[in-house]
Structure 1
Amino acid sequence: MRFPWLLMLALALGTVACAPTHLSIHVNSPQGTNQGRPLHMVVRAVDSQRYMTEFYADVAERVVHPDDSVVQTLVIYPGEKTQTRVKIPEESPLAISFLFTTPDGAWQVLLDSPIPGRVDIELEESRIRTDAPSKRKKPKGEPKKEEPPKFEPPKVEPPKVEGPKVEAPSAGK
């Protein structure tokens, strides 16, 4: 072979440009999650149309009767952090569903292409936390974000109203 270094360079560039083949899922489940009861997590390869039209009962059935879409099921215990790793399907988004006893809000999330190598999910009592605070630190020199001034409604004294004057009838009439 004339240029073995070219082959090695091509292989090195090919591995850098490739998308991840596995997804690490990190789930934080506080003590009060699901009223303190374990719950199932179901990872499925589904297209966005199926994801949008499936009902909770359809997904729950996949725990007992998995179909070809199920990549993994796992029991999540409240008060514990859970980590798992799944193979990313080549041509399908991944849905990660949490089967709460009484879901109240977001109970599943869809990861579309390109799927990242890691996802962190924070659970609340009966839902997936969707408003996770940003942990970004402000760089030095960046001005503080000022709050808009607070306006209070003007204080208005109620008008003083006197009742009508009524004269007492005279006794001599």
Structure 2
Amino acid sequence: MATKIRGRERLLAKMKALPPEVRSAIKQALAQGADEITDMQKRLVPVDSGDLRDSIAQTWGGGKVRYSSLNAGAETGDPDLTVRISAGNSKVRYAHLVEFGTAPHINGGKFAGSQHPGTAAKPFFFPAYRALRKRVKSRITRATNKAAKRVAAS
């Protein structure tokens, strides 16, 4: 889900130049939004052992999360203002199979030649992200504008 931003360097320079009060307001709004998204994902995920639900996590600072099957968030950017939400870890490497399902196929390995009927998709990750992203974006914009007005008034 990587996107290209035109003028990214200029944007990053402007973000670094923001006063600490504005950066703090943005980070607080971003943290609240990330919490809402992960909470909804944990409510939507189908639970068998609970390992998949417990693997849904937030990582601050951007970068790629190791062992995750599903990711939402920025690859690069200001580390203080970047959060990545992921599902999957070294124990749970099947989040994408639950989210998107599997097609019927012939098995290999120990049960070679047997027919697997496939599994139905049980989306939990991206529906929560899509449902809340507009609200989160609006909250961040409001926090930015409010903090910028406070800074400008003082």
Q: TM-score of the superposition, structure 2-length normalised?
A: 0.22
- Structure number with bigger Rg: 1
Give the number of the structure whose residues are more often helix, by fraction: 2
Which one has a larger percent strand, Structure 1 or Structure 2? 1
Task: Report the TM-score when normalising by structure 1.
Answer: 0.21
State the structure with bigger RCO (CA 8 A, min sep 6), 1 or 2.
1
